[in-house]
Structure 1
């Protein structure tokens, strides 16, 4: 095959560079605004550089609502990590059970339940979840928040699609050799599904890191608030602290952005792992 002319390659790179700049501009504007006062942002919102490079805003957001910033960061890390591990494990177990016994009505009902959760946003689940957490005595606890965030319909279907590509003869041979279902899952199936496991873990972590509504619904005090909730609390009765919001947004987005950039190849390979049966 003949390679494309140089001008086509140049044009393609130019278009790609322009699209990249357009996509990166909001992040750049957010970073610049973190160094500008609220008055300066309102007076000249499109200014491409800050008036000063003062870091005084970090002292302003060091404590939000009387709770130190490190407590929000620790809660985010703890809740996101625990809900990610639990969510990936539960969805993998559910998908494996459905693939192994697709005709069992309980498993089919489970699949329908995951499908419904995709159709309905979190906002419609606020009252039912609040009532359930209240009845179980989990309001205001880390456990309640983690259980709520562990729900992962997208991850469930990722596992289901990949498990369906594994030849049934592999599992049947393990059964003949005397392996239990748990041994088949953890010793045979999941090692084969490591790209999907990694993808589900990354997706779950990124989604749960940004969640604020489930945390506010289940929490009873700032002791269990996360960074996104602290960001919401910067909107006070006395006005909106634009500079503080921009600085907090930078602190929230930079870690997960770097995490995704490092792991994006794994995400792409995992998303396509179960796309083709063979």
Structure 2
């Protein structure tokens, strides 16, 4: 079936209009970082700043008595480590569930992950706080990283992919003398490299934006990330649009770049995880 040129032009025109519609708020945020609060309030729809005012970035150099670079380092370290742990743990768990689905408790574990997807973070405040306090991880980097490493969506992506791998491939490796661990690390994981990359990217993007778990587990600004600093800035400065937009730009630009560079991989991996199995 051929697509008529007129239909194609209309489709592209519609896509461009929709893109502009969705990109305008982000552009407005970037401009707000260089415009004064008075200018934003008097001319909110202006598409170009009156002047490139950098006062906002000087104001947010210190937030809550802590330098901005500390929040940035916390974001990179916490997000990276939680992503690595989430990918490793969910891959191992999904492989075990696919290989031994009848082991006691495995079915309950799977439904537990499904429940976690539907369970809002807000209802986890008290349980998580009590658990972190009991095991001595409240207010620590380890507590935040472990909380963010919980990945139910990632678990199901791995599970669906592992179900698509023929059992004969794994059984042949075991017959040749490989253990389950060796079959996973030397046979399955190399085959799952595309889904590993997809899950890693998705986890990084999700964890970078998380602020609620960090706020619950943290005890001081020393362990805050950029999204939590943005929330704190909003409370301190009230309607200082310039400062808020400046920090919002710093917080969102890194993950925006990561997503733009990897969006094809993310969409492909999500489609494979949804269709296979």
> Is 1:92 matched up with 2:110?
no
TM-score (norm 1): 0.96
Aligned residues: 277
SS in 2 for 1:26: helix
Are the counterparts in 2 of residues 162 and 273 from structure 1 also a CA contact under 8 Å?
Answer: yes
> Is 1:192 matched up with 2:191?
yes
Task: Name structure 2 gaps, 5 residues minimum.
Answer: none
SS in 2 for 1:234: helix
- Between stretches 96-105 and 80-89, larger displacement belongs to 96-105
Report the Cα offset of residue 275 of structure 1. 4.2
Are the counterparts in 2 of residues 165 and 274 from structure 1 also a CA contact under 8 Å?
Answer: no
CA distance in 1 between partners of 2:134 and 2:254 (Å): 36
Alpha-carbon spacing, 1:66–1:101, altered in 2? closer, same or farther (3 Å): same
SS in 1 for 2:164: coil
CA distance in 1 between partners of 2:6 and 2:162 (Å): 45
Deviations 1:185-216 (A, max 9, x none): 11111111111101100000000000001111
TM-score (norm 2): 0.96
Task: Name structure 1 gaps, 5 residues minimum.
Answer: none
> Is 1:131 matched up with 2:130?
yes
Matches within 5 A, 1:56-67: 56-67=55-66
Are the counterparts in 2 of residues 195 and 269 from structure 1 also a CA contact under 8 Å?
Answer: no
Report the Cα offset of residue 277 of structure 1. 4.6
Alpha-carbon spacing, 1:200–1:277, altered in 2? closer, same or farther (3 Å): closer
- Between stretches 263-272 and 159-168, larger displacement belongs to 263-272
CA distance in 2 between partners of 1:261 and 1:239 (Å): 32
Are the counterparts in 1 of residues 160 and 276 from structure 2 also a CA contact under 8 Å?
Answer: no
Are the counterparts in 1 of residues 32 and 242 from structure 2 also a CA contact under 8 Å?
Answer: yes
Report the Cα offset of residue 273 of structure 1. 2.5
Alpha-carbon spacing, 1:237–1:250, altered in 2? closer, same or farther (3 Å): closer
CA distance in 2 between partners of 1:236 and 1:253 (Å): 19
Report the Cα offset of residue 50 of structure 1. 1.5
Map of 1:8 onto structure 2: 7
CA distance in 2 between partners of 1:8 and 1:272 (Å): 26
CA distance in 1 between partners of 2:275 and 2:236 (Å): 54
CA distance in 2 between partners of 1:72 and 1:276 (Å): 39
SS in 2 for 1:53: coil
